[in-house]
Structure formats: structure tokens, C-alpha cells
Amino acid sequence: MLKPTVGPIIGHTTTNQSRIFIRGEFQLNTAVFGGIRYRVSGTQQWLKAPFAKLELLRDMSAVILLDKLTADTDYEYQAGWFSPMSPTHTVDSVMELPLQWPREVYRLRTRATAITQPRAYILGSCRYLRLTAGIPSLPHLGDRIFSSIGQLIEGAQPPVSAIMMTGDQIYVDDLNLIAPDREYNEILKKYRAAFSQPNIQRLMSGTPTYMILDDHEIEDNWPVNAHKSDASLFRNAMTAYEIYQASHSPACAVTSNGQVDQVLKNYWYQFSDGDIEWFVTDSRTRRNLAQDDRRILDEEQEQALCQWLIESPARVKFVVTSVMFYPDRKLHGDDAWKSFPAQRLRLLEVIRTHRLKNVVFISGDVHGSLTSRLTHSADPNFEVHTIVSSPLHNSKLLPYAKASTFILDQPLALTADGDYRHELTSAVVSQDNFAHMLVDAGQIRVNYHDRDGKQLQSIKIDLR
């Protein structure tokens, strides 16, 4: 067997399941299979290896489900792909072959069942990896920060439950003024290059990684800049996104026969981790730009989000939106929630009128990191926080955000019942960085680190 050409990537992981993405390579006139074998760390016996047939339709990739795992347990696994000599082999028959697995051993940990156990997460967005003629230019620069993240995760207490990447994991339009990629095969090359660099590959093979798209998975400021001729670009970009980002997420259901269903109803999804719950929104592909009903989230998604906010018993609720919920930017803010004030106000009023506590919005996009607090002039019980983490690696062509980038001297929204007012609760980080977020019984601690892992600042958000 051969090493995966992309992956393994650990996706959605629960107390008893884990989804793992692997990619092989096309072989002319012969079938290709990928497989994973695993065991509890410290034991000798490998458990029965699940296999999948790798199809060109999914760029020779598959998501393999490990089921009936034990909670809060360390596992080790091996992954590989091969082409059998006989063309008659099936997924079931290859499981009986005496295969020689690749030597690399990867590790994963299932989620803990203890509800109140402290949890930790890595937050990041906007990883620029420039390609020239399909080849990464200075790829070590775009991969450097993932080594620092991996070093922090190793031995971290509490263990890091997951990595949340909130958009622009690739830049389809990295040379958008000169030669933007539009064809399907060109976009696939972007994903293969971006996800197979050594540090990010090592990181994602050992820590569950959740992703949601932003505009650069398609083109800058989508869909404002879209033209009728962009229909094929959108179709190509989203097909590639579904293969490499959505396929291992909770957006894909598990079928009754233990397979991950790759037919997607939508890109937004939910998941839980103890008494913490996440709602990851698709704030990019379901926008309505009509002036009479402007929406950054479609009606179905807004209703689902509001229902979750009201009904979820979670102690802490994280809402991921790839673009800024607040504060608004002075310039270029129309690509974010600033341009959809009515829908934003509806969400805030749901949180305020239902007296919901510990709601935190997480985003990226702006190439600057910060935390901020939103209050209401007439309602002392209302409080919402936002945590922004961006970028993992910036382009030299793009500026970093700073405090003067944002509108901070006026209320976010004015209503008959009072004003929504916000303030920064951190400095604005204007360099490549990531966030290490820890949640315990009384607080959220957000530690920002630079690309070498050095801590830049630490912010405490008290829970109520």
C-alpha cells in the first residue's frame, strides 16, 4: 500500500465515531481502494480495517468512518491506498488481502463524555498559499504556522478537541487580477497542494478539523462580483469544496449502513462537545442581495439558527460565521454583516429577548485578530462576545487590519428599546496568528500566538 496523496484528515469526531479523509491516485484500467486500520494506543492487535473504493468523480478520495470507538480514548491508525491485481475485487474482498501498510502511524483521540470537563480549540482562517502554474511558490511560508500549532497541541492540557478553520482555507483567486483559476482541475490542484504541505498534513492527521468556506474558495467578494459567465466557476469551486472540506464535516449524514453520505443538503452544520455546542453557518453561498429582503443567511438557515439558540441547553454556544458579525469595518465592510443589518438585528433581538447567555460569535476574514463585547443600553442582562482569528498566512499584497480599521465610535444598531454598543476587549493583532481558546467552568480564555508560537496576548471572557 502507498501513503495517501492527500491526508489523512481527521474530520468530525464524536465519543464513538471519527471520519477520516484520504486520497489515492488514479490508475488507468484498474480499481483503486483506500483503507484505514486502527487500534487502541498501547495495544498490539489491529482492528478490522474499513476500505472504500476511490473514484475519479471524487478526485480519488473517500471519507472512511471509524465506528464503535470508546469515548475519551487514544487510538493509533494507519492509512493507505493500492490497486489490486485482480479487477474483480470489491471493498469486502480487499479486506481479506495480506497487505503491507505504510509505516506511518497517526493518532486520534475521541471526545470525552464528561459534560463539564474543560475543552480547548484552535481557531484560524485565511491561509494564503500562492500557486504559479500549479506549483506552490515558497510553500514553507504558508505552512510554517501549522508547525507551531502542532507543537502547542502536543501535550496541551486540556487536550485540544478540534481545529476550527473559518474560511479561505485556499485562495482559488490567488492571482485574481492576472490569471484566476476557474477550471475544475485547476481548483483541485489548489486543494491538493494546500492540504498536502507537511506541517498542515501532520496537524490534520492528528486533530479533528472543521471547516467552512468564505469567498476565496470561489472568488473575491462572492457573489457581489459574480457575472453570468461565473456559473461554471461556482459549480467547479463548490464541487471541489464538497470533496475536500465539506465531505468530512457534520454537514454529511451517516447512512444506515455506516457510510458517510456525500449528498449534501446544505453547507451549514451543528456539532456538540460536552456542554458546548457549535453552529457553523454558511454566510457565503446563500446570500440574497435584493434590497427588499437582504440576507446573508437564507431563511431556512436563519430559522434553524434561531431555533438552536433558543432551544439548545448548551452552557456555551459558539456561532461561526466566516465574515465579521461585528464590529464593522469602515471600508470594505459591505461584504460582511454590516451590509445585512436587519438580519443581524433579528438575531440580536432573539438573543436579548430570550435572555440567552454565553453566546459567542467566531469569525475570520479581516486579516486581523481581536475580541470584542456587545451590550445593550437598556438591558443590563444582554451580553454577546465575538472572537476573530485571522490570518494564518497573509499575502504580501494584502494589508493587515488594525484598530483604526473598525467603526468603534458609534452604536452597532439603534432600536426603539435601546442601543447595541460594542467595545474592543483586546488589542488588534496585525500579523500572522492563530487563537488557542480554552473553555472551563467560569471563563473562556483566548490566547493569540504568532506564526512561531509565541503568545501575543491573552484575553479572559467571563461566563455567566
Q: What is the pLDDT of residue 258?
A: 81
Domain boundaries, the chain: 6-109, 119-462
Rounded distance between C-alpha atoms, residue 56 and residue 247, angstroms: 15
Q: Tell me the Cα Rg of the chain.
A: 22
**CB neighbour list of residue 444: distance below 8 Å, 6 or more residues apart:** 316, 360, 385, 387, 437, 438, 460, 461, 463
pLDDT of 133: 65
Give the CATH number of domain 119-462.
3.60.21.70
Quote the pLDDT of residue 70. 97
The pLDDT of residue 180 is: 61
Q: Give dist(CA 315, CA 444) in Å, integer.
A: 12
Report the side by side order of strands in the sheet with 455-462: 209-211, 160-165, 119-124, 433-439, 443-450, 455-462
Letter for the amino acid at 26?
A: F
For 167-198, the pLDDT digits (tens) are 999 998 876 555 566 899 999 999 999 999 99
Closest CA to 54 of 6, 104, 100: 6
Residues of the chain with pLDDT under 50: none
Domain 6-109: give its CATH architecture.
Sandwich (2.60)
The owner of cell 434590497 is 291
Give the per-residue pLDDT at 86. Answer: 86
Running DSSP on this structure, what letter comes out for residue 233? H
Over the stretch 422-445, which tens digit does the pLDDT of each residue have? 999 999 999 999 999 999 999 999
Domains 6-109 and 119-462 share a fold: no
Q: Where are the alpha helices (DSSP H) in 221-339?
A: 231-241, 299-311
